[in-house]
Amino acid sequence: MSRSIAVVSAGLSQPSSTRLLADRLAEATARELALDGESVDIHVIELRDLATDVTNNLVTGFASAKLQAEIDRLTAADGVIAITPIFTTSYSGLFKSFIDVLDPESLRRMPVLLGATGGTERHSLAIDYALRPLFAYLRADAVPTAVYAASGDWGGDDVLGERIDRAGADLAEAVRRSRRVAPVDPLAVPLGFDPSGASTATRRA
């Protein structure tokens, strides 16, 4: 079986610690799923590359083809990894703006692994008081283990690596257990008709 994992990275620089954490969490999840012989398709959504598209969507109410393609990949995934830098005790404005352009029902029951990066350990609770409530509102299934990485976590012992492995295992298990059905476009209507009752094609109304 093939599984798809969408990775949302809200890092503003390139390279960034946010993208580094996102990649390591994706690798840990893929390794865990591979233990069952499953192939894994990892798709990274770099929000810094979509900043203009997200802003235009907020202003006009319409998503560009580029942005819509990424939204479709996100909502069709078997699991999501969402990583944001922490600014003034919460997720970044770009991260929140991207969430705001999503259909509020599009991540319902989606297995989600949450993570964040920051300069100091003082912001480590931001995942619990900012990110978890946000995804609870979206009715996503956030896994128990989240990962916060401060600047000092990238050197020395491998405590961060252990947390990453544990979080990846949590997401892999949630993906295995998930019975989520991908959302159906309410504006899609059948073009063809089959006597058995099955639609042969759809188009946007």
Please, what is the angle between helix 17-34 and helix 159-177, to 10°? 50
pLDDT for the residue numbered 181: 61
Integer Cα distance of 27 and 164 in angstroms: 9
185: phi > 0 → left, psi -120 to 50 → alpha, else beta; which? beta
| pLDDT tens, the chain, 205 aa long | 789 999 999 999 888 999 999 999 999 999 999 998 989 999 999 999 999 999 999 999 999 999 999 999 999 999 999 999 999 889 999 999 999 999 999 999 999 999 999 988 888 899 999 999 999 999 999 999 999 999 888 876 688 999 999 999 999 999 999 876 655 555 554 444 454 555 444 444 4
Integer Cα distance of 29 and 40 in angstroms: 9
Its domain, for residue 26, covers: 2-204
Task: Give the angle 100-104-108 at the CA atoms, nearest 5°.
Answer: 130
pTM: 0.86
pLDDT for the residue numbered 63: 97
CATH number (domain holding residue 74):
3.40.50.360
**Could you tell me the CA-to-CA distances from 192 to 1, 17, 74, 152 in Å, in that order?**
30, 49, 28, 59
Cis, bond preceding 133 (omega within 30 deg of 0): no
pLDDT for the residue numbered 124: 86
Domain count, the chain: 1
**β-pair type (90-91, 79-87):** antiparallel
pLDDT for the residue numbered 194: 52
Neighbours of 95 (CB within 10 A): 26
